[in-house]
Amino acid sequence: MAGTRFRSVTREALGNIFREVKIALTPMPKPEKWTFIVGCYNSGTTLLSELMGKHPSISALPTEGHFITDQFLKDYDLGIPRMWVDREDIFCLNENDPGPDVERIKKEWAMRLDLSKPVLVEKSPPNAARTRWFQKHFENAHFIGIVRNGYAVAEGISRKGDPKSIKEGWPIGKSAWQWARSNQVMLDDAEQLDKFHLVRYEDLATDPQTELDKIAAFLGLAGFPDLSTQSFAIHERKDSVKDMNQGSIDRLSAEDIKTINDTAGFMLDRLGYPRL
């Protein structure tokens, strides 16, 4: 037993050494643009990142950037999966906050990016609370915010939860507040960003080519290739791009809808989503 533990510790130590050497040898990325996809959980950030990664001038991280750096605390590790607003004191950063090690983050991400591409893309839902910090520390930072119908998002957050921490799923009221507050922080901070573009999930799902070409123009790139015949792997589901809102809304009870209206009605109104 002691020998097994020793071998396990040795492997872990060697893995850490190898990682540190790899980070040290990774060149500092110097793209023309850093681009951050931000938005609430379950709002289409993964879909948008995968779609954007199809552009020949873009390299997008294969997973959420906060998972592949040791510089940010993770919501899952804190026992609040998909619920960063429970600890805004940890997740919110602005240009006046010292924050983590910027160069280390860039190198950790660079190990998973094609540095020959002029536009590097990262997406992490908690980064909706860090846009002003990223603008200060990442050269020529561009931000693409994505919003989605709050009823569908709240249902998705509650249903998915996390079996290790939230076995019964989040209460619908907490999920609605996560959606409302996350968007409130993102939109309020966007007023202080130099380059911010807002996308609606519903528009992206209905006409992805048009929305992607708007993004290309925002980034100063040529239009996207034709993606109409392609399918995409989004959270283990391979499918064409389609609006998944109605299925989520149909799972809500009348009481759920009332709770969402009471908790997040102000953001439904702000974003122009009709109240049910």
The answer on pLDDT for 155 being more than 50 is yes
Q: What is the pLDDT of residue 235?
A: 46
Q: What is the pLDDT of residue 181?
A: 98
Share of the chain above pLDDT 70, in %: 90
The answer on pLDDT for 149 being more than 90 is yes
Contacts for 143 with CB less than 8 Å, ≥ 6 apart? 35, 36, 38, 131, 134, 135, 190, 193, 195, 196, 197
- Nearest CA to 39 out of 187, 222, 191 is that of 187
Q: What is the pLDDT of residue 148?
A: 98
Q: Which CATH class is domain 2-271?
A: alpha beta
List pLDDT tens digits, range 159-201: 987 656 566 789 999 999 999 999 999 999 999 999 999 999 9
List pLDDT tens digits, range 57-100: 999 999 999 999 999 999 989 989 999 999 999 999 999 998 89
List pLDDT tens digits, range 213-232: 999 999 999 999 998 776 66
Question: What average pLDDT does range 143-153 have in this prediction?
Answer: 98
List pLDDT tens digits, range 111-139: 999 999 999 999 999 999 999 999 999 99
Q: How many residues are given for the chain?
A: 276
List pLDDT tens digits, range 95-117: 999 889 999 999 999 999 999 99
- Nearest CA to 111 out of 120, 100, 98, 123 is that of 120
Q: What is the pLDDT of residue 22?
A: 81
List pLDDT tens digits, range 235-257: 445 567 889 999 999 999 999 99
Q: Indicate the average pLDDT of the chain.
A: 91
Residue with tokens 């034709």: 226
Is 46 within 8 Å of 130 (Cβ atoms)? no
What whole-number distance in Å separates Cα of residue 209 and Cα of residue 213? 6
The answer on pLDDT for 233 being more than 70 is no
What whole-number distance in Å separates Cα of residue 169 and Cα of residue 166? 5
**What is the pairing mode between strands 119-123 and 58-60?**
parallel
Q: How confident is the model at residue 234 (pLDDT cuts 50, 70, 90)?
A: low
CA atoms within 13 A of residue 157's CA, in its CB half-sphere:
33
| Position with higher pLDDT, 228 vs 271 | 271
